[in-house]
Amino acid sequence: MRGQPLEVLQGTLDTLMLKALSWGPRHGYGVASWIRETTTDELSIEDGALYTALHRMEQRGWLAATWGVSEHNRKAKYYELTELGRRELKDARARWTRYAGAVSAVLEARA
Amino acid sequence: MDPLRWRRFGGPRGSGLTVLSRGIVRLFELVARPFRGGEAVDREIATHLELQIEALIAGGMSPETARRVALDRFGDVASYRRGLIRMDDKAARARRWRAWWGDLAQDLGLVFRGLRRSPGFGIGVIATLALGIGVNVTMIGLVDRLLFKAPAHVVDPGAVVRYTLTQTHPSFGSFTNASVTFKELDLQRRSGALTGLAAYYPGSVSYGRGESARSIRASLVTADFFGLLGIRPATGRFFDPADDPIEGGSPIAVISERLWVREFAGSREVVGRSLWLGSRQYQIVGVAPRGFAGIDLNAVDVWLPLNTGAREFLGSGDEWRDTWDWQWVRLVGRLRPEATRERASAEATALYRAAVADHHERKDDRGTVTFQPLIAGRGTDQSQTPTIAALLAGVSILVLLISCANVANLMLARGLSRRREIAVRVALGVGRGRLIRATLLESVCHAGLASVVGLGIAALAGSVIRSILLPGIDFIDPPVDGRLLAVAFGVALVAGSVVGLAPAIRLWHLDPAADLKAAGPTTGDHAAARTGLLGFQAVLSVVMLLCAGLYYKSLWTAASIDFGFRPEGLLTADIDLGVAGYGREQQWAFYDQALERVRLVPGVASAALTTTNPFWTRQASSLRLPGRDSLPRLKTAGPYFSAVTPEYFATLGLRVARGRGFADRDNAGAQRVMVINETMARTYWPGEEPIGKCAFVGRAATVCREVVGVTVDASNESLEVEPVMGYYLPLAQVDGLAADRFVMIRATDRPEAIAGDVGRALQTLAPNLPVATVRLMQDQIEPLLRPWRLGATLFGLMAAIALAVALVGLYSVLAFQVAQRRRELGIRTALGAGQSELAKMVVVQGQRVVLTGIAIGLVVSLAAVKLLVPADLLRRLLFQTSPFDPVVVGAAAGSLIVTTLLGSLIPARRAGRVPPMEAIRAD
């Protein structure tokens, strides 16, 4: 069953992107396409919003950015997790699991 | 940024690496920094869209559709772009600030580490600047207090004005007086430009009784004095008009907060208590607020109602109320909000001229009233002290400049020895701006520390100057206040920036490559700048020395002035008999006895009685000449008189030039006689023989007094050379004109040795009396010398500091140059140059700079005096001393030359002793 793509909350988007970067440095397009592939287009995220989040997280010190050359010889900005970012990913994941667990518990409760 | 480097690392079309290792990416970013601001965001978005489109096309889409889908997925490109650029800019700004503060903290750390590592340099710099700042702050504080600060507690001091009257005399020019007749008070109260006009009369009064009695400053004031100024009492009340009727007022007083605390321990019950002033008890009705001590520089401790007080302290009945002859009160008014000082002055002038128009004695159609501002008016008293203090403050800036030049020189020298270190820092990528900032920061820090030390110096020097050089002025506020703190730090900031400028300019023109290659510092570097600074110091020092010299000359001239009598060896004595309840007749009888008693004291050569005490009191009476309607007036007013016993002229050493002095036969029953001085003879009877002429002395006089002698002029008021008319009456024929008595005593030897004996001799006449006041005539003259002493001492001190700083500066420059030129000097020695020849070279080098400085300094300062300073100001600033006095000019130049010689001695000796081989091998 495939309905309208789901809206994503900002905090959740950050977490997804941190996850996308957990395998190593990627440029913005790499992050966008990874999320798109992984979620099989279930989530409706504008690519521009991804960049806003990347810049924001860079300024918070979760990501470090460097300029490099992409697959097709294009100058691209590569992002990678900093130690701070890695910790944030861990925390966010734990928070999400608790949250989802709690929500599921309520939804699946009987009487 | 640099395109060359960018390409070296294989830019966009470079090596074709797919993934760059993290290290290389980092290095790449460090060196190349390919984008800034919007450019980076554009590049990032473009790359994203390009990659997306390529991927979509590869997935089978047509390019058109792929482009549309990519843009669609991205969202509103323009809006995202703006947001990203904003975010990046903000972040970049924050980064720059953080870096700036970080660098600053680091540089500050360097400054203090440097101070710890080489304390000598830091201490030298700080001490030199502290001297300069200290001297400046001291002087500015003094001038601020003397000239600029409004009296405390006065409401809207800008609207308060002082009344001054300028009279013009056909032969003496114009003169301005702040002391005016009492008639002018009633007259000017009619003015429509003023909301009020009050009068006050500052003086002194004996306070207390018996042995503890002493003199305090009192001011007689009209009832509206405090109200006009807007002062509120700390406790109790001030005067009401009802308190001060023309006759029969009761004795009441307002005291200062200082007296309240000192004598009554600040007790609330002080109102209603009494204090002894002169011969009466006064009931205290109120206390002035803390810090208010009148509106003149001399602090007042007690205020009395004018009518009641004048009756007591002026004697002579009511004469002062209704005469144009007595100029004594000072007037202070408050302008209406819409009035200007000019309008008020014009109106007051018109009132004055109309009032005196039909008054033949005073007919004065050129008299001009000027309302002066309250603050500027603080300088209107006779003393030159405020003017000289202002000059001192101006010149003290020179001391600061000299210190700055010296410190700049030190910093340049250190800059040279640190050039390799600096070159290394530059090569390591430390920016030039950062280095310059660090240099300026260092000098400002030094100056900041110096200002703290300088404030200490100012606090100390301020209180010393106040107590030793300006004892006549009672300062209430502390020597260093908030205003001075601000001044000190302001001066430090400016001085620090100026001092750091020279090394900073050097850094600007830095050539790291050359500095790295150079074996060590070389001599040629900035020699011109350093020599220039040295010459500049010489110029300023010579100006300081000139000032000091001129004031020493003024002091010397003033101290050795011919008074017409011989003040050295003279004593004066009096006892406040009113306190003991003696009536007039009893007092006079007492003094006749006292004179006989004092003559018996061993060491007394002669003694006489007089009714006025030179430099202390003086007295005038109305005087008419038979057959004349009006008499010529002098700028110095007068004539003033003294009634004296026959030995007076001999005791004072006052020469009777023509005719005779007084003798015992000039007694109460004999023909009335008088002796006049040469100025009076010349003024009243020009070209005639005055002896044998006669004058009516005193308003009620019916007998014409015969002039029997003419004395030389005797100064009895000030050091001014303006001639003063004076005359003498036999004490036996004084006819009630004068109440006071003083004993004048000439000692055979040192007067201070017999002062105690004289006092005790008087005391034995009446054991219950207060202590007799015995003063040296020299001590009475001393306050008149004070402005010149102030100038001489402080200029002398500043000149000494300037010389010391210049000496150190010269020494360090020469010593440094000798050290730099060791190699050259060694070679010269090896080639046969003698020790003395090399030493001479160094001395000549120093002298050349200083002599040029002296020449410039002399020419500039003398030209400035000639062209810029009005002659009458110069006359007030220097006591009968020409600014071009050859002895002073010579001494100023000479002392600087000697100082230079001293400064070059050690470097010169060193220059001659460089061992040839060692010096050559050294490099």
Of B169, B170, B192, B167, whose CA–CA distance to B180 is shortest? B167
Cβ–Cβ of B83/A52 closer than 8 Å? yes
3-class state of residue B570 by DSSP: strand
- When mean pLDDT is compared across B372-386, B453-467, B547-561, the lowest value belongs to B372-386
Q: Collect all residues of chain B within an 8 Å Cβ-Cβ radius of residue A75.
A: 12, 34, 43, 47
Contacts of B54 in chain A (CB under 8 A): 72
Per-residue pLDDT of B108-159, as tens digits, reads 888 888 788 777 778 888 888 888 888 888 888 877 777 777 788 889 988 9
Chain A residues in contact with B14 by the CB 8 A cut-off are 69
The answer to whether B378 and B164 are in contact (CB under 8 A) is no
* Token output for B921: 């091998």
Q: Does A7 touch chain B if contact means CB atoms closer than 8 Å?
A: no
The answer to whether the Cβ–Cβ distance between B55 and A33 falls below 8 Å is yes
Of B92, B95, B1, B110, which Cα lies nearest the Cα of B435? B110
Which SS3 state, helix, strand or coil, does residue B393 take? helix
Higher pLDDT, A46 or B25: A46
pLDDT reading at B382 higher than 70: no
Strand partners, B747: B604
Task: Summarize the confidence of residues A80-100 as an average pLDDT.
Answer: 92
End-to-end CA distance of chain B: 42
pLDDT of residue A81: 93
Mean pLDDT for B667-685 is 88
Q: Is the pLDDT of residue B313 over 80?
A: no
Res. B27 pLDDT band, cuts 50 70 90: very low
Tell me the residue length of chain A: 111
Question: What's residue B245's pLDDT?
Answer: 84
Best mutation target among A75, A78, A79 (most B Cβ atoms within 10 Å) is: A75
B752, pLDDT greater than 60: yes
- Residue B150: how many CB atoms within 10 A of its CB? 15
The CA distance from A103 to B337, in Å, is 79
The predicted model gives B265-289 an average pLDDT of 88
Task: Of B112-121, B281-290, B835-844, B881-890, give the range with the top mean pLDDT.
Answer: B281-290
Nearest CA in chain A to B14: A73
Q: Which of B47, B85, B98 should we substitute to test contact with A (largest number of A Cβ atoms within 10 Å)?
A: B47
Nearest to A46 among B13, B32, B73 (CB): B73
What's the pLDDT tens digit per position in B499-546? 888 777 777 776 666 666 655 445 455 677 778 888 888 888 888 888
Optimal mutation site among A51, A80, A82, interface B, most CBs of chain B within 10 A: A51
Interface of A with B in 9-68 (CB under 8 A): 25, 27-29, 32-33, 46-49, 51-52, 55-56, 58-59, 66-68
Is residue B254 predicted with pLDDT exceeding 50?
yes
CA separation, residue B159 to residues B163, B195, B196, B331 (Å): 13, 10, 11, 14
Q: What percent of chain A has pLDDT over 70?
A: 93
Query: Do A70 and B75 make contact, defined as CB atoms within 8 angstroms?
Result: no
Band (pLDDT 50/70/90 cuts) for residue B573 is confident
Size of interface A-B (CB pairs under 8 A): 98
Q: Which of B390, B413, B452, B392 is nearest to B129 (CA)?
A: B452
Residues 6+ apart with CB under 8 A from B588: B741
* Residue B172, φ and ψ in degrees, nearest 5: -120, 5
Output the pLDDT for position B220.
92
CB contact under 8 A, A69 and B47: no
Residue B331 main-chain phi, psi, to 5 deg: -115, 140
Nearest-Å Rg of the Cα atoms of chain A is: 16
Show the tokens assigned to A54: 């990347």
* Residue burial A59-81, b: 16+ Cβ < 10 Å; e: rest: beebbbbbbbbbeeebbbbbbbb
Nearest CA in chain B to A57: B87
Question: At residue B737, does pLDDT exceed 70?
Answer: no
Kindly report the nearest CA distance between residue B74 and chain A, in angstroms: 4
Percentage with pLDDT > 70 across chain B? 86
Q: What is the pLDDT of residues B180-202, one digit of tens each?
A: 888 889 888 888 899 999 999 98
The first and second tokens of residue B884, run together, are 């071009």
Helix segments in B821-834, DSSP class H: 822-830
Paired tokens of B330: 């000072």
Q: What would the pLDDT profile of A18-30 be if each residue is shown by its tens digit?
A: 999 998 899 999 9
Q: Which two tokens stand for residue B685?
A: 């009877």
Chain A interface, best mutation among B20, B25, B49, by max A CB count within 10 A: B25
* DSSP-based three-state secondary structure for B674: strand
Distances (CA, A) of B325 to A34, B100, B219, B359, B361: 110, 74, 21, 12, 9
Query: Does residue B23 have a pLDDT over 50?
Result: no
Q: Please report residues of A whose CB lies closer than 8 A to that of B34.
A: 67, 75
What lies within 8 Å, CB to CB, of A15 at 6+ separation is A89, A92, A93, A96
B335 pLDDT more than 90: yes
Please report the pLDDT score of residue B401 as a whole number: 86
Compare B10 and B377 and report the one with higher pLDDT: B377
Band (pLDDT 50/70/90 cuts) for residue B211 is: low
* pTM of full prediction above 0.90: no
Query: How much of chain A exceeds pLDDT 90, in percent?
Result: 49
Lowest mean pLDDT among B413-427, B434-448, B597-611: B413-427
ipTM summary value: 0.90
pLDDT bin (cut points 50, 70, 90) of residue B29 is: very low
pLDDT computed for residue B34 by the predictor: 44
Q: Any idea which residue has 């000139």 for tokens?
A: B546
Q: Which two structure tokens, joined as six digits, stand for B297? A: 């520089």
Smallest Cα distance from A97 to chain B, Å: 29
CA distance B122 to B130: 12
8 Å CB contact of A29 and B48 = yes
What is the H or E stretch that residue B176 is in? strand B173-177
The residue among B735 and B171 whose pLDDT is bigger is B735
Other CB atoms closer than 10 Å to residue B30's CB: what's the count? 9
Q: A75 pLDDT exceeds 70?
A: yes
Q: Is the pLDDT higher at A45 or at A8?
A: A45
User: Angle, to 10 degrees, between the axis of helix A28-38 and the axis of helix A47-60?
Assistant: 120
Please say whether the beta carbons of B237 and B288 come within 8 A.
no
Distance CA B808, CA B798 (A): 15
pLDDT-based confidence at residue B350 (cuts at 50, 70, 90)? very high
Residues of B in contact with A70 (CB under 8 A): 47, 51
CB contact under 8 A, B14 and A70: no
Nearest one of B610, B667, B675, B607 to B639, comparing CA atoms: B675
Q: Which residue of A has its CA nearest to B88?
A: A55
CA B898, CA B890: separation in Å to the nearest integer? 12
In the prediction, which pLDDT does B601 show?
87
Give the closest-approach CA distance of B5 to chain A in angstroms. 15
For residue B20, pLDDT over 60 is answered with no
At B317, the pLDDT band (50, 70, 90 cuts) reads low
The average pLDDT across B726-751 equals 83
Q: Cis (ω within 30 of 0) for the bond into B639?
A: yes
Quote the minimal CA–CA distance from B88 to chain A in Å.
8
Tokens 């734990």 appear where? Answer: A94
Q: What pLDDT is recorded for position B361?
A: 63
How far is the C-alpha of B245 from the C-alpha of B228, rounded, in Å?
19
Q: Which residue has the higher pLDDT, B288 or B472?
A: B288
Q: What is the mean pLDDT of chain B?
A: 80
Residue B161 — φ and ψ, nearest 5°?
Answer: -130, 155
- In this complex, the residue of B34, B73, B88 whose CB is nearest that of residue A75 is B34
Instruction: Considering only the beta carbons, identify the residue of A49, A59, A77 that sits closest to B87.
Output: A59
Residue B396 is predicted with a pLDDT of 83
Residue of higher predicted confidence among B544 and A63: A63
Q: Is pLDDT above 90 for A39?
A: no
CA distance B172 to B184: 23
Closest C-alpha to B818, from B703, B682, B912: B912
pLDDT in tens, B576-589: 676 566 777 778 88
Domains and CATH numbers, chain A: 10-107 (1.10.10.10)
Question: In this complex, which of B25, B40, B88 lies closest to A68 when CB atoms are compared?
Answer: B25
Q: Look at strands B604-610 and B742-747 and give their pairing.
A: antiparallel
